[in-house]
Amino acid sequence: MTRILHIDRIRYTKEQIMDAVDSLRSGGTVVFPTETVYGLGALAENADACRKIFTAKGRPSDNPLIVHISSMDQFASVSDPKEDRWVQDLERVWPGPLTVVVKKRDGIPDIVTAGLPTVAVRMPDDEIAHDLIEMAGPIAAPSANISTRPSITDSKDAIRFLDGRVDVIIDAGPTRFGIESTIIDLTRKPIELLRPGSYTIEDLEPVFGHIVYGEVARGLGEAKVAITPGMKYRHYSPSTKLILAETRDLFEEILPYSPEDMVILATIEMERPGRRTIVLGTDKDLYTVAHNLFSSFIALDDMHAGYALIHPFEERGIGFAIMNRIRKASYRTVKDVREFLDLIGSMKEKVN
Interhelix angle 318-329/286-302, nearest 10 degrees = 20
Would you state the pLDDT for residue 146?
86
Would you state the pLDDT for residue 350?
65
**CA-wise closest residue to 280 among 311, 317, 304, 316:** 311
Would you state the pLDDT for residue 107?
86
**DSSP H or E segment with residue 34:** none
Contact 79, 103 (CB under 8 A): yes
Would you state the pLDDT for residue 203?
95
Q: One digit per residue, pLDDT tens: the chain, 352 residues? A: 899 999 999 999 999 999 999 999 999 999 999 999 999 999 999 999 999 999 999 887 778 999 999 999 999 999 999 999 999 999 999 999 999 999 999 989 999 999 999 999 999 999 999 999 999 999 999 999 988 789 999 999 999 999 999 999 999 999 999 999 999 999 999 999 999 999 999 999 999 999 999 888 887 767 665 565 655 555 678 999 999 999 999 999 999 999 988 999 999 999 988 889 999 999 999 999 999 999 999 999 999 998 999 999 999 999 999 999 999 999 999 999 999 999 988 877 665 5
Contact 129, 65 (CB under 8 A): no
**CA-wise closest residue to 28 among 169, 143, 167, 170:** 167
- Number of neighbouring beta carbons within 10 Å of residue 344: 21
Would you state the pLDDT for residue 231?
55
Contact 202, 213 (CB under 8 A): no
